[in-house]
Amino acid sequence: MKTAFSFLLLAVTGFCFGQSDVAEYAIVEDHTTIEMVGMEELEIGNKSDEEVSQDAEYTSTIHFQERAFGVYRTEGVIWYDFDAKRHIYLNQQGEVTDYIELYHIADYRLAESANRSFLNGALEAGGVEQSPFGSKLNEELLFRHQLNDDAAKQLISVEEKGDTTIWKGSGRILTKCVAGKKGKKGKQVSPDMLYKYLLYNHEIHPFVAKVIAASGRCPSYLEYSFNNFSSHVNVKMTLNMDAETNLQPCPSISELAFSEEKHSYKWHTKLNTIIANVIAGEAKVITGQEAERDATQLKKEGENLSALLSLFNYLLSTGEQPAEQIAEIVPLATEDEDLAAFLKALASPSNAEQAEANVAVFTDLMTRTKEYGYIMNVFAANHIQPADADRALNYFELALVENSTVAGVYIDLGNLFCDRYLYALGWKCYLAAHLLAPDHGMGIDIARKRKNLEEALPGYF
């Protein structure tokens, strides 16, 4: 994975925005969550029969379109746009409160599925016979990722009772489905959209959802339940294909209005606001002419380090390398102690002690640099990240507070967050980087990651 520190090459990544067609019909759903009691006291492989019902019922209306669907609830709407591969949260006023690529959901589920398999293997190797990670059925239900068609058929049995189909797995009922009649002309949801809705929003088994969608007919009623490690959830969905709705269709990018409260996480609100401003189009990247002008002027003033940093700022922001201008400044280090110290500290550290020493040099030089000193926070973060991700995050944030258009920093941040299983934040960073500099060379790994996810989980896209 490339970082701002190692970035040298250019690549082109692809991203597009689209708008879906008109609505088809609505779904009303009811959920009841039953919280498990005493889970922290359970031994591995055992479950408590003692449960307590929680007041957690709610309804939502689903607005289907040809290549998108919206989940309408009291607090607003969540749109899944499959042409643009985007995930949008809108409040009651129609303002965007969060905007992420759909890849963050698939990326998390695929990574966590692999993680669960690893944990199961580790526990079995340690002599645990009934690992909570050991059931393939449980794993598929939790992460909505069908691991193997043949395995799913072996795990799940099907029983027909009149117009009701019942799927069973591990000795319990997974899903009850009542076949639906055809709705009014134009009101039948596409099987693909129904499948995607169930895949993204509910822990119905992927094999069951696929069979329902493949029937080509929308059921009139679905009831199913699932367990994770802290709760048991019952889901009842009544699908009204003849319902007339006046819900708004999925907005195009040009129609989006962004909320003034530009963050959706209680922590790192400053960073979330910076990213939201980028997604809202409020951040403009420096041009090549501006970068060359600044470097030339700073060089004339004898501010050689600032001149070089201005070019690095342009390089990291756009992915374009001003090689000639950099080559003119670097030799001046023979007569410029600050420039020489910076170039020496820029070298990749061989150990943690050297990394700390280099960061100390950057910190000292920032206090004496006329302009663009904040760029040294990026290199400080890259040096310190292998040992301390929290400190690296703070350095990256310091750089973006000064200049929110440094696209390469968002890619580094995206990698950092995804490594810590914070996929929503990670993919928001990747999106910000792409919107700022779609041809940025550091994005080559992200483009590859998108492609790999689409190949591994085609049902999600």
Residue 198 has pLDDT above 90, yes or no: no
Residue 33 has pLDDT above 70, yes or no: no
3-state SS assignment for residue 448:
helix
Domain boundaries, the chain: 26-53+107-247, 276-460
Which range is least confidently modeled, 87-101, 134-148, 200-214, 393-407?
Answer: 134-148
pLDDT at 46: 36
Give 14 or 117, the one with higher predicted confidence: 117
- Angle of CA points 212, 213, 215, to nearest 5°: 70
3-state SS assignment for residue 387:
coil
Name the percent of the chain lying above pLDDT 90.
Answer: 35
Confidence category of residue 13, pLDDT binned at 50, 70, 90: very low
Confidence category of residue 38, pLDDT binned at 50, 70, 90: very low
Which residues does 33 contact at the CB level (< 8 Å), separation at least 6? 54, 56, 231, 232, 233
Q: Are 45 and 265 in contact (CB under 8 A)?
A: no
pLDDT at 263: 57
Which range is least confidently modeled, 116-130, 193-207, 233-247, 367-381?
Answer: 233-247
pTM of the model: 0.83
Residue 42 has pLDDT above 60, yes or no: no
Q: Are 87 and 78 in contact (CB under 8 A)?
A: yes
Cα within 13 Å of Cα(268), Cβ side:
20
Confidence category of residue 18, pLDDT binned at 50, 70, 90: very low
Most confident among 133-147, 171-185, 198-212 (mean pLDDT): 198-212
Residue 23 has pLDDT above 50, yes or no: no
Give 6 or 403, the one with higher predicted confidence: 403
Confidence category of residue 47, pLDDT binned at 50, 70, 90: very low
Query: Which residues on neighbouring strands pair with residue 258, listed in sequence order?
Result: 96
Residue 361 has pLDDT above 70, yes or no: yes
- Cα–Cα distance between 361 and 359 in angstroms, integer? 5
Give 130 or 178, the one with higher predicted confidence: 178
- DSSP conformation class of 438: T
- Cα–Cα distance between 459 and 461 in angstroms, integer? 6
Phi and psi at residue 98, to the nearest 5° = -160, 150
Residue 16 has pLDDT above 60, yes or no: no
Superfamily the domain 276-460 falls into: Tetratricopeptide repeat domain (1.25.40.10)
Cα within 13 Å of Cα(45), Cβ side:
9
Name the percent of the chain lying above pLDDT 70.
Answer: 80
Most confident among 56-65, 234-243, 267-276 (mean pLDDT): 267-276
* Tokens standing for residue 194: 């129904």
- Indicate the burial class of 21 (C-beta count within 10 angstroms; 0-12, 13-18, 19 or more): exposed
Q: Are 106 and 453 in contact (CB under 8 A)?
A: yes
Over residues 238-256, the pLDDT tens digits come to 776 655 666 778 888 778 8
pLDDT at 112: 85
| CA 235 centroid distance within chain | 26
Residue range 424-439: mean pLDDT, rounded: 92
Residue 26 has pLDDT above 70, yes or no: no
Q: Are 320 and 286 in contact (CB under 8 A)?
A: no
Confidence category of residue 286, pLDDT binned at 50, 70, 90: confident
Which residues does 114 contact at the CB level (< 8 Å), separation at least 6? none
Q: Which conformational region is residue 95 in: left (phi greater than 0), alpha (psi within -120 to 50 degrees), or beta?
A: beta
Residue 404 has pLDDT above 80, yes or no: yes
DSSP letter string, 324-371: HHHHHHGGGGGT-HHHHHHHHHHSPPSSHHHHHHHHHHHHHHHTT-SS
| Identity of residue 120 | N
- Cα–Cα distance between 192 and 190 in angstroms, integer? 5
Over residues 141-164, the pLDDT tens digits come to 777 777 677 888 888 899 998 889
Residue 315 has pLDDT above 90, yes or no: yes
User: Which of 272, 210, 297 lies closest to 429, judged by CA?
Assistant: 272
* Tokens standing for residue 327: 């080559």
Give 109 or 25, the one with higher predicted confidence: 109
- Cα–Cα distance between 246 and 3 in angstroms, integer? 47
Q: Are 342 and 365 in contact (CB under 8 A)?
A: yes
* Tokens standing for residue 429: 């960073």
Give 142 or 441, the one with higher predicted confidence: 441
Measure the N-to-C terminal CA separation of the chain; round to a whole number of Å: 24
User: Which of 28, 29, 26, 47 lies closest to 37, judged by CA?
Assistant: 47
Query: Which residues on neighbouring strands pair with residue 403, listed in sequence order?
Result: none
3-state SS assignment for residue 219:
coil
Phi and psi at residue 239, to the nearest 5° = -105, 110
